[in-house]
Amino acid sequence: MGEERIPLVISGMHCNSCAVKIEKTLKDKGIHGHVNFATATAYVDLSKEKETREIIVGMGYKVEDEVKKGRSGPDHSAHLKVRRDEARHYKSRFLLALVFALPLLYVSMGEMVGLPLPELSHIENGIVQLLFLLPILYAGKEFFIFGFKNLVKGSPNMDSLIAIGASAATLYSLSSFFVGKDFLFFDIEKGFFYFEVVGFLLFFIILGKFLEARAKGKSSAAIQKLMELGAKEATIVRNGNEIKIPIEEVKVGDHVVVKPGEKVPVDGVVITGNSSVDESMITGESIPIEKNPGDKVVGATINKFGSFSFKATEVGEGTVLKKIMKFVADAQASKAPIQKLADTVSLYFVPAVIFIAMVTLLVWLGLGYYTWFALTAAVSVLIIACPCALGLATPTAIMVGTGLGAKMGILIRGGEALQTMQRVDTIIFDKTGTLTRGKPQVKTILTKRLKEDEILRLAAIVEAPSEHALAGAILDEAKIREIKIPKATKFQAIPGKGIEAVWNRKKIILGNRTLFIEQKIKLQQFDEEGQVLENQGQTVLFLAVDGKIEGLIGVADSLREQTPKSVEILHRLGKHIVLISGDNKRTTKAIAEKLDIHQIFAGVLPEGKAEIVQKLQKEGKTVAMIGDGINDAPALAQADIGIVVGSGTDVAMEAGQIVLMKNDLRHIITAIELSAYTMKKIKQNLFWAFAYNLVGIPVAAGVFYVWTGWLLNPAIAGAAMAFSSVSVVTNALLMKRFRPSIREEYEPLKKA
């Protein structure tokens, strides 16, 4: 997995060019990390934390202190705090600007629409406008501070564009108090003021920032909701007494008591009592799960009826809830490959806009137009440009997409996985534990003269002390049929072949065909019947008593309930399905035939699975490997997308790029649909962001003035710039309307 990476939550970034600049500066100093503007987070190697903090702070930004060295997970409260602080900050600035923008509008435009105004000369009216403008300039002071600071450092950003444009218009207006035409090289008209333009320019930009901050806060709702799921207190037993303590003080090994209606505070194993626990936040399953001594419980799940006590086994960052939060936060802070285009554009965009604005100014002056006209065009160019929209196009969609996945029990590790999933054309399934339940069951009992239950009882007598999976299947079936199992003696396991024991002075043998051939026990009619069952994928165990064949038991791993339908839909979607297994060819082929899978690989070791994935990739396939995350780890790592089928506490979080929290293969179809839907939204966002600039900049520069006689007002340009960012974020938030084609399994999650 490489060196541990930690998140640093950054405040003070005003647009995506800030994030790109920080990332580039870190890279120039030998620190490889990624900075996400939408989540206000930088991910860097733990060993570089101190150096990274110093560089970011030296650039004029602030690194929040909540993330502590050595933490394996991000401090979600720090990230959310930045979002809340940002929204509060821009709200107060917006209200201040609004209070003075309205009278500024009245004074500057009231006469044009017939509103009553006091008797003021034109110059006096300009002075009043200036007085109303000053508080608005204060509300937007950070644009000037950061804008000029970055300009001096040679790394201009969006603030620089605002600062240059607003300052130029303000200085022009101030100079028009004192000078007339032909001042130096400029044609300044005395008494011609831009104050209302500057005021409303800043007002609209601050409004846009406020709406953008609120929208970004909503896109972080997935993490917020996960945080709210956890319990705040726990009841533990100490010195024989039950006491309530904060959840942070619970330690591994503590004896925790949970009463009806309470949340399970941390992960653990039931010691005493029994109950039903609602685990829908983990599995999506609405039916409460029975819990008895020895069963695992997961923190943040809800105890429904009975009381029980359990031993805490995982606390803090080790709990399933915290791991899910880390998974979601990692995904939201990551970048999709498609974002590289926007980052590259952002890096060169601002200098290019400044250059275009200067050319615009000089061209109109050179053509003999008034200075105010040329300045209007130049300022409009500076203001209408919007790298913020480009920077928000991808990460906001990824944040909402991964949040939606988490709500449905589909954990997606990052933007790259989300982008790649919809391109997958080949899906490899591991057999055992993925397509099948991973737990053998008795499927067939054939007998010669004894009853079925007697054959099963004899087999259970022999298998009673064994821990083999096949023994478990026989003992489980005996338990279901309520068959009593007496104790036998002289047990002898024959590795790879079977087992024998003595009961009631009879020698009982249970084993495979090879064992019976070695023991020279004739299989009679069971030989042919056994071959039929083996061809169907069952493992056959023959039973003999005192050297005579009495019957056979067929054991097989059954398909998961949703497997046939899921594979059928994937076939319809045009996906090439491959079955891979460490089991024998006959069993693997039997499963493949049931599911209409034509390409199979049987008897494959873990490293061999990775080689098969690699072979398919060399053929030009985009491969998704679906397995249990343990034996399949090499193949999961090799695949373009590794999908881990997990179940609650046993999910292998680090093994794949996508984790299905519930053992329902239909979620694979939902993951494909969600990936395609998210990419559609990203492309929409990028299209509008690029199209906006491609159209807006020429219009602002006055390219169409010669034909239309219309020149864009900088205040209108500011409003358009502000709302372009808001529209991109809003489009991403509309993703919450996404509904998967298979929906019945997700209904319980709406309540969660």
Q: How far is the C-alpha of 327 from the C-alpha of 314, rounded, in Å?
A: 17
Q: How far is the C-alpha of 563 from the C-alpha of 558, rounded, in Å?
A: 10
Residue 271: is it exposed, middle or buried by C-beta count within 10 angstroms (0-12/13-18/19+)? middle
Task: State whether the Cα torsion 393-396-399-405 is positive or negative.
Answer: negative
The DSSP element (H or E) to which 277 belongs, if any, is: strand 275-278
Q: How far is the C-alpha of 345 from the C-alpha of 387, rounded, in Å?
A: 8
Helix, strand or coil, per DSSP, at residue 72 = coil
Q: How far is the C-alpha of 350 from the C-alpha of 560, rounded, in Å?
A: 55
Q: How far is the C-alpha of 686 from the C-alpha of 678, rounded, in Å?
A: 12
Report residue 505 as tokens: 């002075």
Alpha carbons within 13 A on the beta-carbon side of 92: 6
Print the SS3 string covering 285-327: CCCCEEECCCCEECCCCEECCCCEEEEEEECHHHCHHHHHHHH
Beta bridge partners of 411: 659
Helix, strand or coil, per DSSP, at residue 558 = strand
Print the SS3 string covering 596-621: CCCEEECCCCHHHHHHHHHHHHHCCC
Q: How far is the C-alpha of 727 from the C-alpha of 681, rounded, in Å?
A: 12
Helix, strand or coil, per DSSP, at residue 276 = strand
Phi, psi of 501 (to 5 degrees): -160, 170
Report residue 439 as tokens: 């737990």
**For the sheet containing 308-314, what is the strand order?**
241-246, 233-238, 255-258, 308-314, 267-273, 296-297
330 classed as catalytic = no
Task: State whether the Cα torsion 423-730-80-83 is positive or negative.
Answer: positive
Question: What per-residue string of b and e applies to 673-697 under the rule 16 or more CB within 10 Å gives b?
Answer: bbbebbbebbebbbebbbebbeebb
Residues with Cβ within 8 Å of 144's Cβ and at least 6 positions away in sequence, in order, are: 137, 159, 162, 163, 166, 167
Q: Do 344 and 394 touch, CB atoms closer than 8 A?
A: no
Alpha carbons within 13 A on the beta-carbon side of 719: 7
Report residue 290 as tokens: 């029975």
Active-site position among 430, 583, 628, 632: 430
Q: Do 393 and 685 touch, CB atoms closer than 8 A?
A: yes
Helices marked H in 367-496: 371-384, 387-407, 415-421, 452-463, 469-480
Q: Do 308 and 262 touch, CB atoms closer than 8 A?
A: no
Q: What amino acid positions are annotated as catalytic residues?
A: 430
